[in-house]
Chains A and B, each alone.
Chain A
Amino acid sequence: MADQLSRRGFLKSAAAAGAALYIGANTKGVMAASNSADAMLNHFVKITGDGRAVALCKHVEFGQGSATGLTTLIAEELGVTMEQIDYEFAPSNPEIYNNLLFGPFQGTGGSTAIANSFTQYRTAGAAAREMLISAAAKTWGVDAGTLDIVEGVITGAGKTAPMGEFVAAAAGMEVPAEPRLRDASEWKIIGNAQTRRLDSPVKVNGQAQFAMDVHLDNQMVVMVRRTPQRGGTVVAFDDSASKVVKGFIMAQALPTGHGVAVYAENTWAAMQARNALEVEWDLSAAETRSSGEIKDEILAALNTEPTYNVNKADRAAVKTTVDGAATVLEKTFYFPLLAHAPMEPLNCTIEQTAEGDIVLHDGAQMPTGPHMAYQQIFELPAEKIQIKSMLAGGSFGRRATPDADYQVEAGLAFIMTDRSRPVKLVWDREDDIRGGYYRPAAGHKVRVGLDETGAIIGWDHQVAGQSIMKGTAFESFAVHDGVDHSTVEGIADSPYTIPGQALGLTDTEKATSVLWWRSVGHTHTAYVMEVMMDLAAKTSGKDAVEYRLGYLTGEGDAARKAGVLKLAAEKAGWGSAPAGHAKGIAVHKSFGSYVATVVEVSGNTDDGIVVEKVTAAVDCGIALNPDTVTAQAEGAIGYGIGHAMRDQITLDGGAVEQSNFPDYEPLRISDIKVIETHIVPSAEAPTGIGEPGTPPSAPALANAIAALSADAEYVAELPMSANGVEFA
């Protein structure tokens, strides 16, 4: 009897497990449902008969918590706990999984993962909930309005049943056009600081699968010797020393001429064989300048009339005002090239299936990039190319190149073979540090005029640097009237009300390939704005917080920026510091979010500065996963401060001088003693958090150092360690 019962129970759950409800969008972007994976290849949520839910994540997970965040949205609306739902990465499909802020393009960047998905993913989860509830209401003969799903159980009208029981019935129903989204008062997971990351368990036990961990049967490992100077091409190569390496297979010049691909049986053999290769380069068209020349060019541009008058101000009038001011503050800033150096060196693996499909295994930040590039390289239609997204070991922007650089390299290395063996392209750290795509170098010259009371009456701000967007597929939406907004963002759109501001921009020649780097233009614009504000406050004998608040008097933007400024000041005990310590503050808006940072330092610039504490206040709208917001603030602050302390990429005769962590030294655990993050409660739609912590961190450090003594200065060139500041 007992056996029979359990057997019946088994059969029932097995039958139910065969059913599944998929909610996704059809190619017109309309929510659609199906009970078949084939009909609904491109879904956002799947619920199986056993009551498990799976969220399909359209954004890469490189540490910022997108997988947990997107899954939270589905779980909340559907009515399941985070233990009852899993996540998977979506395939490449720019029609269905596009970033709603990027157009028909699937990609992660600009801290938009949650902002663009907040309504979309909740709607998918809510649609699934309403369909399951409708199916139950019909079966039970009750009003659907009396039912809800709570922890995976349909509950109400005196009845309960696991939602899995209604999966088959729900799959045949129409998708509600406008499902009701739960009111914030109903939220249990959104905004709950107790929610844990879904990817933590596999990341602490070694089971997490990054692209670097792909090991396909019979794969070859390819490493590339690239041109030492940008623009160089291969004339000839000698692989006789490579041939001695056990496991070496072959070496071939890439069709682009930019390097030689070395194929080997395993990674270590590929490294040795690649390093043993002798290459003769044609450097006649290559970059030959050194960092000093590039800097001179940028600084010279600051002293000429700018090419672009960004804010259409009457610059002559502004200059006249500044020249006639009671006090004139003048400062020139310089920011070096920076590498992203994600912890997982770049890599991807490419194979061809028996059906002739090309499959790329990649920690893909912008799947649409390689997807389009491979259609050309392999002359295949889009549907014959699959991109399998893996966890990515950091990016900070590096995995999102407009030209899909490393994926194209892998594609070219693969197409030069008979495609019978998969090809895994691996970069080592030296390749990464020397491989280009840097945060562009930039210079600023600012002249601020203050009246007798210390109030700003004129602000002449000139920027010169290398445009990231020009010449890329993103030019049309990021460049207007010649101005690459990413070079002046954070000044042109600052919430400060600054009277008499002129903003000019001059593009300089690209010395090397440049790319967005965590927080893009804000990496330098925030530094300049916040150091100048601090200098103006100090010069006029005003408190740095009060002074800034005087320029943040409006509603909305200004009020939110003022809000984080006040919160950070309050939490950091602004206004006093232990003996020998000093505090500096900075505040900045980027990617729709507001962050204020107080840095407390001790020591002095000769014997060594110690970063004692960083206190941050964050307003990113609704904090979907508050602990992730805190973690991103901590990480972004470390990223900003670490590079400001001691990192730069320099060129000597066009060749990059740094090569690995010993000379591109990462932030270390002892560099910042404590970081404390405070989140502003908010009902506003969520905005970015992966990047906004970075911009104000470095200027807060500079301002703290300048507050250490009467003769301490504001560091105007980065990195600080190369410009007169020692760190303990």
Chain B
Amino acid sequence: MTISLNLNGQTHEVDAEPGTPLLWVIRDELKLTGTKFGCGVAACGACTVHLDGEPVRSCQTFIEDIDGAEITTIEKMEEDKVGAAVQKAWLELDVVQCGYCQSGQIMNAVGLLRQNAKPTAEEVDDYMHGNACRCATYQRIRAGVLRASEILEA
């Protein structure tokens, strides 16, 4: 089937079988590799993108369900006010280790800060719970979200 995908502000006509996860359209067809594959079963968050502004797991988002939706990936976060603040905080604190989970962490953190500009540490933990980091950078992820909140407030 052919669907029209609005990704990072551009429209793409994509030909893919129904049941194809958005993740693989983004990575293999559109060749935007910032969105990562970690588990394929919505258990790690590495594949997190925004669908109409909300974080979703792209490995469990299927193309037949998203015709016409607006998709945003990590590649577009520099231009997003909240996204840029999160990235800045991540650089200040050197959150990353291997970095493989971090696109997803950042996309999810942006989702949190959009709906809750001043989260507490517990609220960060609750919201970020589904984003696994095998390098265990959690300490800095938590601090990074709180720092981004400060940056946004300033």
Contact = CB atoms under 8 A, between A and B. Distances in A.
Contacts of B97: 63-65, 394, 631-632, 635
B91 A343 contact: no
Contact of B33 (A203, A215, A634): A215
Contacts of A179: none
Interface in A618-652: 627-628, 631-632, 634-639, 642
A4 interface: no
A532 to B, nearest CB: 27
B135 A267 contact: no
Contact of A343 (B100, B121, B141): B100
B47 to A, nearest CB: 12
Interface stretch (A402-410, A447-455, A669-677): A669-677
A197 B94 contact: yes
Contacts of B136: 634-639, 642, 667
A652 B27 CA distance: 36
B12 interface: no
A343 B133 contact: yes
A63 B135 contact: yes
B34 A206 contact: yes
A676 B139 CA distance: 9
B125 A669 contact: yes
Given A196-B94, A429-B40, A634-B140, A205 B132 contact: no
Contacts of B94: 196-197, 200, 627-628, 631
Contacts of B36: 210, 212, 343-344, 393
A660 interface: yes
Contacts of B82: none
Contacts, number: 181
A666 B134 contact: yes
A209 B100 contact: no
Contacts of A631: 94, 97, 137, 140
A217 B9 CA distance: 26
The secondary structure that dominates the B interface is loop
Contacts of B33: 206, 209-210, 212-213, 215
Given A206-B74, A206-B103, A670-B129, A342 B20 contact: no
Interface in B64-104: 73-75, 77-78, 87, 90-91, 94-103
A632 B136 CA distance: 9
A210 B100 contact: yes
B91 A661 contact: no
B138 A669 contact: yes
A111 to B, nearest CB: 14
A30 to B, nearest CB: 35
B3 interface: no
Contacts of A612: none
A267 B125 contact: no
A598 B146 CA distance: 25
Nearest to B100: A393
Most A CB within 10 A of own CB, among B32, B102, B121, B125: B102
A638 B133 CA distance: 10
A680 B23 CA distance: 45
B128 interface: yes
Contacts of A396: 134
Contact of B24 (A208, A267, A627, A635): A267
B6 to A, nearest CB: 18
A205 B77 contact: yes
Nearest to B142: A669
Contact of A661 (B35, B37, B41, B73): B41
A121 interface: no
B17 interface: yes
A704 interface: no
A341 interface: yes
Nearest to B145: A669
Most chain B C-beta atoms within 10 Å of own C-beta, residue among A209, A213, A391, A632: A213
Contacts of B95: 200, 204
Nearest to A341: B134
A343 B37 CA distance: 9
Contacts of A251: none
B124 A669 contact: yes
B119 interface: no
Query: Among B21, B94, B133, B141, which residue has the most Cβ atoms of chain A within 10 A?
Result: B94
Nearest to B29: A266
A43 B2 CA distance: 50
Contacts of A666: 44, 132-134
A343 B46 contact: yes
Contact of B90 (A200, A638, A675): A200
B43 interface: yes
Contact of B96 (A204, A266, A667): A204
Contacts of A642: 136
Contacts of A668: 129, 132, 138
A627 B32 CA distance: 31
30 contacts: A199-B96, A200-B90, A200-B95, A203-B99, A204-B87, A206-B73, A207-B34, A212-B33, A215-B33, A267-B27, A267-B28, A342-B98, A344-B36, A344-B38, A344-B100, A393-B98, A394-B100, A394-B135, A429-B40, A631-B140, A632-B97, A661-B39, A661-B41, A662-B43, A668-B132, A669-B124, A669-B129, A670-B125, A670-B129, A671-B138
Nearest 4 interchain pairs by C-beta: A206-B34, A638-B136, A393-B100, A203-B99
